[in-house]
Amino acid sequence: MELEFFGAAGEVTGSCHIVRVNGRQFLLDCGMIQGNRKQEQRNREPFPFNPEEIDAVVLSHAHIDHSGRLPLLVKRGFNGPIYTHNATKDLCGILLEDSASLAQRDAEYANRKRPDKPPIEPLYSIQDARQVLRFLKGSKYNQKIEILPGVEIRFQDAGHIIGSTSVELWLREGEVRKKIVFSGDLGQYDTPILHDPAVIEEADLVLMESTYGGRTHRERSLTHDEIGEIVSEAHHGKGNILIPAFAIGRSQEVLYTLGTHYEEWKMSRWHVFLDSPMAIKASEVYWDYPHLYDDEATKFRRELHEMPRLKNLHLTSSTEESMVINKVTSGGIIIAGSGMCNGGRIRHHLRHNLSRPECHVVIVGYQSPGTLGRRLVDGEEEVRIKGQWIRVQAKIHTVGGLSAHGDEDDLVRWFRGFVNKPPVYLVHGETKSARALEQKLQNEAGTRATVADSGAVIDLTKI
């Protein structure tokens, strides 16, 4: 009975861990490594296991850094069930296809740059992505499921995006019985739309994310005040507001927040563009699971009979519709992917708006090192987009309060739910953040915390 860390150990993206019980093995997540081109090349490397010998996958949520290598896993011979929440199943249909078309475009771009060399194959094709859907088995929260002999799981709400889960795992091998808990990505408490992360009281070992270890988000009300000020400043300066956002989660939260502040922020003076085919489809899934909303969102939805309420919202699916946005020089709030600006339509809006001092870029999520989003956050004066150098004159605002991830206090609060203070392995964090959380959990929650090393194997019989 053992656990091996493979991805998202000492880094944020590429979540993947292996559990072995009774001679069978299954994965916790199978995510994509995201960052600059060189970092993303690592997705092509062989898995450190034989995909044909993996019996099942447990997928915590739909984000591509947790699900993005599933098509590769299937392409390389995996042929078993993938257990996840129903909403994640729906979202994966949208996300993985998009990821495949991005991979295809990347490969085409790279091949144009090196015409005399043998062509590079895309990481995987749309067909590969569609194959994954056949293996997805959706379920609800709070339902115990036996996934393999001696392995039962139960999904709990992680409050991170719709359908996101923390996973309880009961493992049995001979006389040995252990319970491990995988946090998945944990949301902030009091996040709009979603419930708080569920309290889990017992575990022999916890595998926990640490994205925002050592950091505290601004209070949500202050963040809202800040957005209100940006909206007002941009209106007076006659500029646009660009919001790079993950198609799933942040886009819906931003729309909801604009909707709930409609009068206060005088939203009727603006045109809001959700310029992402994927975010448009993901929003449909979001609005399709109202039973997963918290009380406030349920009330808001009941009163207005729609979600979200933005009369001036334009859903621009087609490229032609998106191009028309280029003509909007003021009064536009443009929400587009990708969330870290390393691909997608946001790059083309940034190209048109970054050099204009009257424009504003509002960063609402985590930015991985090496991405364009991180460069903007770090205050680089000039950035290169689609081969063109652009002077950054627009104002860049990082509004931490809207992050889909809990901050350090949230993470500690979630951990305090465990009454028996189990040992913790920290994953899904840059080393500095994971180390900070390690200290904090040791000092304040009185537990043994360790930053997981990629490739390390934990003998679960000895915990």
Residues that bind Zn ion (CB under 5 A): 63, 185
Minimum separation from the CB atom of position 248 to Zn ion (A): 9
Minimum separation from the CB atom of position 166 to Zn ion (A): 12
Minimum separation from the CB atom of position 281 to Zn ion (A): 18
Minimum separation from the CB atom of position 195 to Zn ion (A): 16
Sign of the torsion formed by the C-alpha atoms of 185, 190, 191 and 193 = positive
Q: Which is nearer to Zn ion, 80 or 429 (CB)?
A: 429
Q: Which is nearer to Zn ion, 265 or 366 (CB)?
A: 366
SS3 412: helix
CA distances from 270 to 39, 231, 240, 246, 314 (A): 39, 9, 9, 22, 11
Q: Which is nearer to Zn ion, 98 or 185 (CB)?
A: 185
Minimum separation from the CB atom of position 137 to Zn ion (A): 20
- C-alpha–C-alpha distance, residues 155 and 169, integer Å: 9
Are the beta carbons of 437 and 184 closer than 8 angstroms? no
CA distances from 292 to 141, 158, 295, 447 (A): 10, 11, 10, 32
Q: Which is nearer to Zn ion, 185 or 226 (CB)?
A: 185
- C-alpha–C-alpha distance, residues 203 and 206, integer Å: 7
Q: Which residue is at the shortest CB distance from Zn ion?
A: 63
Q: Which is nearer to Zn ion, 186 or 341 (CB)?
A: 186
Minimum separation from the CB atom of position 316 to Zn ion (A): 25
In the chain, the amino acid numbered 72 is L
Q: Which is nearer to Zn ion, 40 or 185 (CB)?
A: 185
Minimum separation from the CB atom of position 249 to Zn ion (A): 7
Strand residues in 284-359 grouped as ranges (E)? 313-315, 332-336
Are the beta carbons of 426 and 213 closer than 8 angstroms? yes
Strands 360-363 and 395-398: parallel
Q: Which is nearer to Zn ion, 59 or 396 (CB)?
A: 59
Transcribe 68-126 into DSSP letters: TTHHHHHHTT--S-EEEEHHHHHHHHHHHHHHHHHHHHHHHHHHHH-TTSPPPPPSS-H
Q: Which is nearer to Zn ion, 34 or 43 (CB)?
A: 34
44 alpha carbon, distance to own chain's centre:
21
Minimum separation from the CB atom of position 165 to Zn ion (A): 11
Are the beta carbons of 32 and 89 closer than 8 angstroms? no
Return the half-sphere exposure (C-beta side, CA atoms, 13 A cut-off) of residue 137.
13
3-state helix, strand, coil in the chain (%, to 5): 35, 25, 40
Minimum separation from the CB atom of position 303 to Zn ion (A): 30
Minimum separation from the CB atom of position 162 to Zn ion (A): 11
Return the half-sphere exposure (C-beta side, CA atoms, 13 A cut-off) of residue 321.
11
Q: Which is nearer to Zn ion, 15 or 25 (CB)?
A: 15
Q: Which is nearer to Zn ion, 97 or 185 (CB)?
A: 185
Strand residues in 249-408 grouped as ranges (E)? 271-274, 313-315, 332-336, 360-363, 382-385, 388-391, 395-398
Helix (H) or strand (E) holding 299: helix 295-304
Q: Which is nearer to Zn ion, 63 or 360 (CB)?
A: 63
Minimum separation from the CB atom of position 9 to Zn ion (A): 16
